[in-house]
Amino acid sequence: MAFLELSGVRKDFELVRVVRDFNLDVERGEFISFLGPSGCGKTTTLRMVAGFETPTAGEIRIAGRDVVGLKPNQRNIGMVFQSYALFPNMTVAQNVAFGLKVAGKPRAEIDARVAQMLGIIKLPQLADRYPFQLSGGQQQRVALARALAVQPQVLLLDEPLSALDAKIRVSLREEIRAIQKALGITTIYVTHDQEEALSMSDRIVVMHEGRVDQIGTPFEIYNTPATSFVASFVGTLNRIEGIIADPSAGTVRVGARDVAVASPLGARRAGEQVSLALRPEAVTLAPRPGQDVAIEARIVEVAFLGSVIRVRADIGGATITLDTFNSPASPPPRIGDAVTLHLSSSDWVVLAD
């Protein structure tokens, strides 16, 4: 039995259905991300786990106990908010101690736990500061310590890094993941940032219009997207429309040429329209071992992105974007150059509707 179970969870706000038939099993100590665009229902689902919203239907179980009827303060859940939500009238130490005081823990235990938590977030020297005297990153670390101090069963993080600048986001997400691993706490992390989700999670739940589109490891989500939405939302993607040429041979007609596709075409028949996905990093300008597809193309755009050069090439009827590493020894291709694109037939992903 999973540690946290969401079964058939649904949420309606008056006539609008914001979460539909949400099913998820989370194992103890797992780090799960809810990933999706604004309004896809990820925060609402998180708030239902926290107890701030009541599901219209379905069950939420933590350690086998149905918590739907419990108030938020009865669920033993730690929550970190996007806006930090530190209590402005309390110092850092008082903020971290708040939940322990509410639980009626002895003074010595509270002091020891606060010191331990401030040590974990590496801010013991700021114990007597007020929230307004801290930077955004420091405030969010204190918020994390406060949520963890009460030793919750589940840790919920609602876009905790959204309000921070890019550099701090990267360092803080590594810190959050390290702390989560060290404590082994079951965690749900809401984000619309695919890079955050891919880099931190054991598994990702990609949500779209209130539905779960795919649940999988970052590797699965990125490399084998289950739907066209997942494919387009996670990472940069070439999406090419084609027509099935020969289902038995696994060929699809793209523009004026047939390309071999290793991905199964299922029950599709010849002449049927199909959407193919191809990651930019799967295509190269120079052949690599294992690549069995070569396509003649003409460069139409070159963008220098620092360590990577993004190239767009016309293959006749479609355009393919590819990423190639910047190397000072070999200058990038120029617009108008005729090139050959190399890829493996297994790199094509046939998208479900």
Partner 1 sequence: MKRRSLWSWIVLVLAILYFGLPLLGTVDFSMKMRRGVYSLDAYWAVLGDPRFQATFLYSVVMACMTIVVGVLLVVPTAYWVRLKLPRWRPVIEFITMLPLVIPAIVIVFGYIRLYNTSSWLPLTGSALGTDALLTLGYTTLALPYMYRAVDTGLRTIDVATLTEAAESLGAGWITVMWRVILPNVLVAVLSGAFLTFAIVIGEFTMAALLNRPAFGPYLQLVGANRAYEPAALAVIAFAITWICMGLIQLVTRLQKHTMRV
What residue ranges bind partner 1 (CB under 8 A)? Answer: 50-52, 71-73, 75-79, 81, 83, 85-89, 98-99, 102-103, 130-132, 143, 146-147, 150, 156
User: Which residue, 163, 153, 152, is CA-closest to 86?
Assistant: 163
Nearest CB to partner 1, comparing residues 71 and 269: 71
Distance CA 160, CA 144 (A): 9
Nearest CB to partner 1, comparing residues 50 and 299: 50
User: Which residue, 154, 192, 198, 161, is CA-closest to 176?
Assistant: 161
- CB 51, CB 106: distance < 8 Å: no
Runs of H (alpha helix) within the chain: 42-50, 92-102, 107-120, 136-149, 166-183, 194-200, 218-223, 228-233
Closest distance between partner 1 and the C-beta of residue 7, in Å?
23
Contacts of 313 by beta carbon, 8 Å cutoff, 6+ apart: 297, 298, 299, 300, 319, 320, 322, 339, 341
- CB 86, CB 95: distance < 8 Å: yes
Nearest CB to partner 1, comparing residues 99 and 247: 99
Q: What is the dihedral of CA 183, 189, 193, 198, to 10 degrees?
A: 50
Q: How many residues does the structure list for the chain? A: 353
Nearest CB to partner 1, comparing residues 143 and 226: 143
Nearest CB to partner 1, comparing residues 97 and 204: 97
Closest distance between partner 1 and the C-beta of residue 134, in Å?
11
With both helix axes pointing from N to C terminus, report the angle between 107-120 and 136-149 in degrees, rounded to the nearest 10: 140
Closest distance between partner 1 and the C-beta of residue 55, in Å?
17
Closest distance between partner 1 and the C-beta of residue 169, in Å?
20
Nearest CB to partner 1, comparing residues 52 and 339: 52
Nearest CB to partner 1, comparing residues 71 and 167: 71
Closest distance between partner 1 and the C-beta of residue 350, in Å?
43
Side-by-side strand order, sheet with 257-260: 257-260, 251-254, 238-246, 273-278, 349-351
Give one DSSP letter per residue of 242-258, joined into a string. EEEEETTTTEEEETTEE
Distance CA 161, CA 119 (A): 21
Nearest CB to partner 1, comparing residues 103 and 303: 103
Closest distance between partner 1 and the C-beta of residue 132, in Å?
4
Closest distance between partner 1 and the C-beta of residue 160, in Å?
12
Closest distance between partner 1 and the C-beta of residue 124, in Å?
21
Closest distance between partner 1 and the C-beta of residue 268, in Å?
49
User: Which residue, 210, 206, 204, is CA-closest to 229?
Assistant: 206
Nearest CB to partner 1, comparing residues 76 and 199: 76
- CB 214, CB 221: distance < 8 Å: yes
